[in-house]
Structure 1
Amino acid sequence: MSRYSDLDRPPLSEAALNRALVRPGSLWTGITVVDSTGSTNADLAAAAHGGAEEGAVLVAEEQLAGRGRLGRTWTVPARAGLTFSVLLRPSLPATAFGWLTLLFGVAAASAVRRLAEVDVRLKWPNDLLIGERKLAGVLAERSEGAVVVGMGLNVLVKQEELPVASATSLAVEKAACLDRDPLLRAVLREVEVHYREWAEAAGDADACGLRAAYLAVSATVGREVRVELPGGAALTGRATGIDAAGHLQVTAGGVTSTLSAGDVVHVRPTA
């Protein structure tokens, strides 16, 4: 049993979220809040297999088997974070889908910066940072012609509850807003705006301004980085841009490589 009461970590209201976000013409078609589940991404992927419509949102007050990139686990105490997934069915070329994780990051960073008044930046491809500490992560997975995008955002997690020293939360950062309900509403509204603009531009990240918006809050582009690649290799160089497909461009020794996957480490400048 949690040692924190509902006064410390109040539950989310499914009814209130649906009243606020589900309306005629909205992207969001239904918001479900569950007390606990293994993985919201896995649950929505199963729903997609069963024919669930675009715009379904699943929020878990506690996630027991959350997954990050490269098979990593992700957990926070019950009602201390925002753990949710959305189901999207973009009618776009598969080559555009690489932007969905970045789009979600841009939307979430914008919402959190506005409400919480903290300087959130994006580490390619899927982390939200405050300074060099991870505030949130995003994971997109394809399923049955759909894409499920999940996010885990640390809100009320206390310093002693953080799983690693490189993590942080809005509570630790003494953010202006620690109420999960308006934060979730703001993130989903921002996602809807960016997603509609991107879809209307046929997935062209330049035409809809998505690439420019991403670069404006990128903590990676312009930095010296080490990218740990699938298979155990690594590439060290300067992150110089994001290409039209959302891939990271890294220049080393005068040669620019374009990376679709990899674990980025920001290299601290030497004194």
Structure 2
Amino acid sequence: MATPNDPHPRSRWSDLDRPPLDQALLRRRLLHPTALWTSVDVVATTGSTNTDLVDRVRAGTVGEGAVLVAEEQSAGRGRLDRRWTAPARSGLFFSVVLRPEPVPAERWGWLPLLAGVATATALARAAGVDTALKWPNDLLVTVDGEPRKVGGILAERVDGHSVVLGIGINVSLRAEELPMSTAASLALAGAPVTDRDPLLRAVLRRLAEWYVQWREQDGDPTRSRLHEAYVAGCATLGQVVRAELPGGDSLVGEAVAVDGDGRLVLSTDEGQRVVGAGDIVHLRPSR
């Protein structure tokens, strides 16, 4: 069935299974004079909400607090330029604009981790399913006793003054719709709530709370309690992992800490090593 928000029917699932987001309701609930969020736009489809907002920031047509949500993305991107695709209205795919100044630029690297903490805690409460973090910013839920990826976060700095944060969450995907066996959805994790409107509002509210708290503490991860919250929710710590580094090298070791810059600390046979970027594969819990 075609709707004003999605005029191009592509799925065999009906709008009763996957109703469109209510843009007017989202605006009423999220936009007010003292709120961080300044605009909320919902589009039926786009290539990538991150790309769209990056272009708008560069054009000077949006500022801090802009939120762009897509019912479907044809060229969604995750970390390391991985593709992120899902059926229309099956998840939450959105990006926001933040201008963290006057927080020192060297602390901006905490923003994707902040978004991970905010999203995981919001989903745990609003969706009713435990959500953990895989360093640096993958979202994990448990399906059939195994941790699986339900979402992820992508941060892009724009023109030195803004950061566009993109968040993708699989909400109602069935097993046959998953892009890979290690993926999951909130529905498959047994979430009692899969209505996307309240879930999106919950994530944006918690993201705003954490961002304001972090910014008021000049981006200090300790004073803002961000470091404490991230460590508490990070499922990578205590795991033996393989870190696949930029350039093709890799490290194997136990993930023992997240340092003050948000980097992962590994205990390896050659001593402690610090990983600032890369892909982490959980191998097994440490003994």
Coarse TM-score class (shorter-chain normalised): over 0.9
1:137 maps to which of 120, 143, 152: 152
Kept after mapping to 1: 8 A contact 2:238/2:286: no
1:187 and 1:254 map into 2 onto residues whose CA distance is 41
The number of residue pairs the alignment matches comes to 271
1:82 maps to which of 71, 80, 92: 92
Aligned to 2:50: 41
Q: CA deviation at 1:268?
A: 2.0
Q: CA deviation at 1:270?
A: 9.2
2:118 maps to which of 94, 102, 107: 107
Compute the RMSD of aligned alpha carbons: 1.2
Kept after mapping to 1: 8 A contact 2:141/2:186: no
Provide Cα deviations, 1:220-249, integer angstroms capped at 9, x if missing partner.
112111100001100100111111111111
1:187 and 1:241 map into 2 onto residues whose CA distance is 26
Compute the TM-score of the two structures, normalised by the length of structure 2: 0.92
Deviates more, 1:186-195 or 1:243-252: 243-252
Aligned to 2:186: 170
Q: Does 1:211 align with 2:227?
A: yes
What amino acid is the match of 1:188? L
Aligned to 1:50: 59
2:139 and 2:220 map into 1 onto residues whose CA distance is 23
Provide Cα deviations, 1:192-241, integer angstroms capped at 9, x if missing partner.
00000000010100001000001111101121111000011001001111
Q: Does 1:155 align with 2:155?
A: no
What amino acid is the match of 1:87? V
Aligned to 1:247: 263
Deviates more, 1:248-257 or 1:163-172: 248-257
Provide Cα deviations, 1:119-174, integer angstroms capped at 9, x if missing partner.
11100011000132001010001112210000110001111100000000011122
2:16 maps to which of 2, 7, 22: 7
Kept after mapping to 1: 8 A contact 2:76/2:84: yes
1:11 and 1:184 map into 2 onto residues whose CA distance is 12
1:189 maps to which of 192, 200, 205: 205
Identity over the aligned pairs, expressed in percent? 54
1:71 maps to which of 74, 81, 93: 81
Q: CA deviation at 1:250?
A: 1.0
What amino acid is the match of 1:78? A
What amino acid is the match of 1:143? V
Aligned to 1:19: 28
Provide Cα deviations, 1:80-103, integer angstroms capped at 9, x if missing partner.
000000000001211111111110
Unaligned runs of 5+ in 2: 1-9
Structure 1 runs (4+) deviating above 3 angstroms are: none
Q: CA deviation at 1:53?
A: 1.0
Q: CA deviation at 1:259?
A: 1.4
1:270 and 1:62 map into 2 onto residues whose CA distance is 39
1:120 and 1:111 map into 2 onto residues whose CA distance is 9
Kept after mapping to 2: 8 A contact 1:29/1:54: yes
Kept after mapping to 1: 8 A contact 2:186/2:194: yes
2:59 and 2:32 map into 1 onto residues whose CA distance is 23
Kept after mapping to 2: 8 A contact 1:98/1:247: no
Unaligned runs of 5+ in 1: none
